[in-house]
Structure 1
Amino acid sequence: MAELIALRPDLMPCRKVLYFHENQLIYPVRKQQERDFQYGYNQIISCMVADNIFFNTLFNLTSFLDSIPSFFKLQPDYRPKNLQERIRPKCKVLYFPILIQKSPISSEVRKTDDNAGLHIVWPHRWEHDKGPEKFFMVIDALIEKGCKFRLSVLGEQFQQVPLIFDEKKRQYEASNNCQVLDWGWVNRGRYVDLLSSAHIVVSTSDHEFYGVSMIEAAILGCFPLCPWRLSYPEIFPEECLYRTENQLVKRLKYLCKNPGASRNLSVNLDRFKWMSLKSQYEEALLIKKEDNHAALTA
């Protein structure tokens, strides 16, 4: 945004709205030396010229503002002070709207799925920050304990996919306790149908500013189990959160023996649906036509 305003000073009188779905100040990198200072710097400068700044969660907002002082310590030259105090008054939380609707699955289909065993879904981007190693450790523990279940590992794949995905796919396909249903990318129709009939959706993320896939899965009928960190405590109630992977294993072990019990657990996430957020977006983005026209022709 800052670069745009610098190139187009005629746009300066217009109202400038900035939305953060993530922030580069704490975006995960494998090593701190790999962090590109310019990305975060651009976001901070954009905040300085913006009139209104919206974040998808309070976690995203506070992590961004609180990280500004330490972020500037990464550069040896000019280190401005009190930027967070200047930016904070312009910031508000505006949840990202979820459009997905629960598909109609008959009780007969759900009962059949219950009899087939617990269906666990992990639907995340296939990168290290989503914690696949932790998830597979949990699955390995369930297999070692003799639990029987069905498994779908979904998500977008990139050029550098962690090797553990191929290793675990071969291992689980050879297991008598774990039945692999889906592994990798599926089209939207299959995605909705799968999550509408599955029992549990799991996150083991080390990085999450919001969690679209977890919210979508919960709206479609899966019961979410998420780590007690990041954006999750803001979104999901306490009964959906675990503090350690051992706690997650214990909960999944119980549900493997009682798949239908997950159907009695539900989470109300209406506040993240578009119809609940529409008026907030209209208010946040409302610009009077005459004001906009005057700004552009000034």
Structure 2
Amino acid sequence: MQSEVSPQGASVLLVEPFYGGSHKQLIDLLQQNIEGCCVFTLPAKKWHWRARTAALHFSQTIPTCPSHRVLFSSSVLNLCELVALRPDLARLKKVLYFHENQLVYPVRKDQERDFQYGYNQVLSCLVSDVVVFNSVFNMDSFLSSISSFMKKIPDHRPRDLDLLIRPKCVVLYYPVQFPDVSRFGESRTDQRPVGEGGTGDQMEPLHIVWPHRWEHDKNPELFFSTLIKLKEKQVDFHLSVLGETYSEVPEIFSEARCQLDSHIQNWGYLSRDRYLQVLIQADVVVSTARHEFFGVAMLEAVHCGCYPLCPKALVYPEIFPAEYLYDTPEQLRKRLQGLCRRPDVARRHVVKVDTSSFSWTSLKQRFVSLLSTEGP
């Protein structure tokens, strides 16, 4: 897709090979809020083929234009190939944004990890002028993995690539456009009065929400096995399982739907407004992710008033204080069981996370600087 803004006269090229989800949201945000941007994208389908071949496509579709000064792309693009095919683009300030990195992105077995995707990202960093990560965890995990990743090459291995890339690296959190929750009416505490005795067991059951993609890397197996244990202990709760589904949905979802049927309030993808309404009504948001480089869904849920429970790993300790983190599956079960027995604890709690620091309002000026020729 080419943007409606003419490339002629535009100073910033926004290039996105996988124009969907958070990648699309970021490109749209930049185009709408920063002057002089033109956009070139490909639909968010067949991720592996986009990573392999998008550079060749864009080399033929991006017109030559003397006004271009900056090129911004996600790390799905093999930037090295694009600037080799288009020397006129090589002269621009080249900014590479990492939503994720392929050196530590989880695969079922390490033998299944395709070396080429991570290798492309390393090469793209080497030709970039600025390499931007959406979290410190994303940056550190990438840089610290380059050396061991390159050891997969049987001989004549390159050395010290992390030392070449590190000086170019900056962390710039993903800018979340948080919703105005006031337009949805009453808060959860207004909707759920405490019973006459003021005890938690007289309140409406704890509402637990899981708002993630229905894929194995989000570890739904751990989430559902935890709730099934709570059910076996006759602990009461309500459940909403939201998030997008793709062509292959893990079997655990259909199994869990049967076993937890009496607890389910919402199941499956919802419209944006309905999704936000559920987050506002819910009490606790849970992540069981095996990988997370930032985590928009958790921050949105916290913004809507949910009490978060996250693994003490990945990006989470960077964003959430220790009281919201768990180490083991048993800790997660105990924390949820305690909140189920005293839902008022979650409902009255004010989460100690300043979501505004992750908002577009707070981060806009840094992005403006990034996309200027004077900025870092």
TM-score when scaled to structure 1?
0.91
Contact 1:55 1:61 in 2 (8 A): yes
Q: Indicate the residue corresponding to 1:89 in structure 2.
A: 167
Q: Indicate the residue corresponding to 1:196 in structure 2.
A: 280
How many pairs were matched up? 285
Q: Which amino acid aligns with 2:335?
A: R
- Partner Cα separation in structure 1 for residue 323 and residue 361 of structure 2: 26
Q: Indicate the residue corresponding to 1:269 in structure 2.
A: 355
- Partner Cα separation in structure 1 for residue 188 and residue 366 of structure 2: 38
Q: Indicate the residue corresponding to 2:88 in structure 1.
A: 10
Q: Indicate the residue corresponding to 2:372 in structure 1.
A: 286
How far 1:109 moved relative to its partner? 5.4
- Cα separation, partners in 2 of 1:9 and 1:57, compared to 1, 3 Å: same
Q: Indicate the residue corresponding to 1:294 in structure 2.
A: none
In structure 1, stretches of 5+ residues that fail to align are 292-298
What is the root-mean-square deviation of aligned Cα atoms in Å?
1.7
Contact 2:187 2:280 in 1 (8 A): no
Q: Indicate the residue corresponding to 2:191 in structure 1.
A: 112
Which structure dedicates a bigger proportion of its chain to helix? 1
- Partner Cα separation in structure 1 for residue 176 and residue 233 of structure 2: 37
Contact 1:102 1:221 in 2 (8 A): no
- Partner Cα separation in structure 2 for residue 158 and residue 78 of structure 1: 40
Is 1:33 the counterpart of 2:121? The answer is no
Is 1:220 the counterpart of 2:304? The answer is yes
- SS, match of residue 16 in structure 1: strand
TM-score when scaled to structure 2?
0.73
Q: Indicate the residue corresponding to 1:184 in structure 2.
A: 268
- Partner Cα separation in structure 1 for residue 187 and residue 339 of structure 2: 20
In structure 2, stretches of 5+ residues that fail to align are 1-78, 194-202
Contact 1:195 1:222 in 2 (8 A): yes
Q: Which amino acid aligns with 2:114?
A: D
- SS, match of residue 254 in structure 1: helix
- Partner Cα separation in structure 1 for residue 143 and residue 290 of structure 2: 20
Q: Indicate the residue corresponding to 2:250 in structure 1.
A: 162
The superposition leaves residues 200-239 of structure 1 with CA deviations (integer Å, 9 ceiling, x where unpaired) of 0000111111111111111111111101000000011111
Q: Indicate the residue corresponding to 1:76 in structure 2.
A: 154
- SS, match of residue 116 in structure 1: coil
The superposition leaves residues 257-282 of structure 1 with CA deviations (integer Å, 9 ceiling, x where unpaired) of 22222122223222101111111111
Contact 2:132 2:172 in 1 (8 A): yes
Contact 1:102 1:196 in 2 (8 A): no
- SS, match of residue 285 in structure 2: strand
How far 1:77 moved relative to its partner? 4.2
Task: Point out which structure has higher relative CO (alpha carbons under 8 A, 6+ apart).
Answer: 1
Is 1:245 the counterpart of 2:312? The answer is no
Fraction of identical pairs, as percent: 53
